[in-house]
């Protein structure tokens, strides 16, 4: 008998991003092994009942389930926001406390699609580290600019995180990150990502970039500062496992030139959130 596996995926969404969330979920479900099940946790930022109904229908035929969890927005009332990064983005910080009975979870941003089975990522050995993530492709020297003393200058992208929730709870990581946000608002150029890195520097496992193939890398807008790193980028660009439409090149934007734009539309058309033709053809 094949061992039954259940993978916990957490995302945060408001009403506007539900179609993209459905696209992410369907990409995960259509690339999984038959014996694998998914439990999706959606941090619910005022998602309508209609959207929840359609999202549930999207995943229903794949033996997956969705749990909607809520958070007190007042907890993040002082958080720095921008046009591109709403308050919702901060909610991932509270995942360990929201999922108190869950030992491990993969957090994923809504602007992602998966191209292959994510089970290998779920099973990654974190050792003593608190999470697994991919180095941010922007190379903004954020730790130095925030005045954070660290052993390395590695700075991760928080769009995908394999989280050891038990260790987070034991070490009070959520509370430490929230305290940093409250005490250092002027340092948070990249919002929750800066705060997470400020607390978790040197305590995370670097994953292969193909698990979070970011726009800078896919559009070759940046060069990796090391030869070895650039080789990994080249390999990831040729064979990405998770596409992250971070930054400006959202596939649903008219000016997007992302090489995986059509793959996004191919998946989304199979959800219950159809795309207006004029949007796709612009």
Tell me what pLDDT residue 122 has.
97
Distances (CA, A) of 57 to 10, 15, 50, 265: 18, 16, 11, 18
Distance CA 29, CA 94 (A): 25
Domain, as residue range, for 236: 5-281
What is the signed CA dihedral for 56, 35, 120, 271, rounded to 10 degrees?
-30
* The pairing of beta strand 156-164 with beta strand 131-135: antiparallel
State how far the Cα of 92 lies from the Cα of 162, in Å rounded to an integer. Answer: 12
Q: What pLDDT score was predicted for residue 72?
A: 76
Domain count, the chain: 1
Contact 42/109 with Cβ under 8 angstroms? no
C-beta separation of 111 from 246 below 8 A: yes
Query: How many residues in total does the chain contain?
Result: 282
> Element (H or E) spanning 97, and its range?
helix 95-98
Give the contacts of 273 (CB within 8 A, at least 6 positions apart).
Answer: 18, 19, 22, 23, 54, 58
Handedness of CA 220, 224, 227, 229 (dihedral sign): negative
So what's the pLDDT on residue 141? 86
CATH number of the domain where residue 84 is located: 3.90.550.10
Q: What is the pLDDT of residue 4?
A: 54
What pLDDT does residue 214 have? Answer: 96
For the chain, 282 residues long, give each residue's pLDDT as a single digit of tens: 445 579 999 999 999 999 999 999 999 999 999 999 999 999 999 999 999 999 999 999 898 999 999 987 776 665 555 555 556 667 889 999 999 999 999 999 999 999 999 999 999 999 999 999 999 998 778 999 999 998 888 999 999 999 999 999 999 999 999 899 889 988 888 888 999 999 999 999 999 999 999 999 999 998 999 999 999 999 999 999 999 999 878 999 988 999 999 999 999 999 999 887 445 544
CA distance 82 to 87: 9
Going by the DSSP 8-state scheme, the letter that residue 162 receives in this structure is: E
Q: What is the pLDDT of residue 81?
A: 58
Full-model pTM: 0.92
pLDDT at 189: 87
Question: What pLDDT is stored for residue 259 in this prediction?
Answer: 95
């Amino acid at each position: 008998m094949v061992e039954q596996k259940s993978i916990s995926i957490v995302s945060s969404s408001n009403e506007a991003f539900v179609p993209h969330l459905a696209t992410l979920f369907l990409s995960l479900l259509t690339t999984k092994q038959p014996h694998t099940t998914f439990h999706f946790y959606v941090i619910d930022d005022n998602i309508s009942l209609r959207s929840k109904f359609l999202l549930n229908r999207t995943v229903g035929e794949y033996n997956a389930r969705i749990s909607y969890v809520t958070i007190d927005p007042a907890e993040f009332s002082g958080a720095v926001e921008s046009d591109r990064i709403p308050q919702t983005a901060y909610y991932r910080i509270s995942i360990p406390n929201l999922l108190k009975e869950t030992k491990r979870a993969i957090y994923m941003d809504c602007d992602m699609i998966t191209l292959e089975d994510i089970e290998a990522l779920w099973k990654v050995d974190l050792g003593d580290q608190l999470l697994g993530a991919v180095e941010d492709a922007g190379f903004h020297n954020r730790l130095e600019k925030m005045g954070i003393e660290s052993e390395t200058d590695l700075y991760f992208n928080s769009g995908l995180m394999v989280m050891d929730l038990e260790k987070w709870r034991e070490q009070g990581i959520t509370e430490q990150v929230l305290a940093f946000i409250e005490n250092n608002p002027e340092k948070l150029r990249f919002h929750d990502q800066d705060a997470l890195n400020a607390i978790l520097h040197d305590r995370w496992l670097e994953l292969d970039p193909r698990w979070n193939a970011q726009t800078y890398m896919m559009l070759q807008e940046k060069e990796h500062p090391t030869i070895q790193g650039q080789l990994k980028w080249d390999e990831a660009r040729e064979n990405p496992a998770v596409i992250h439409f971070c930054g400006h090149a959202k596939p649903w934007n008219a000016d997007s030139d992302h090489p995986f734009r059509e793959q996004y539309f191919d998946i989304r058309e199979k959800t219950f959130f159809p795309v207006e033709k004029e949007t796709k053809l612009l």
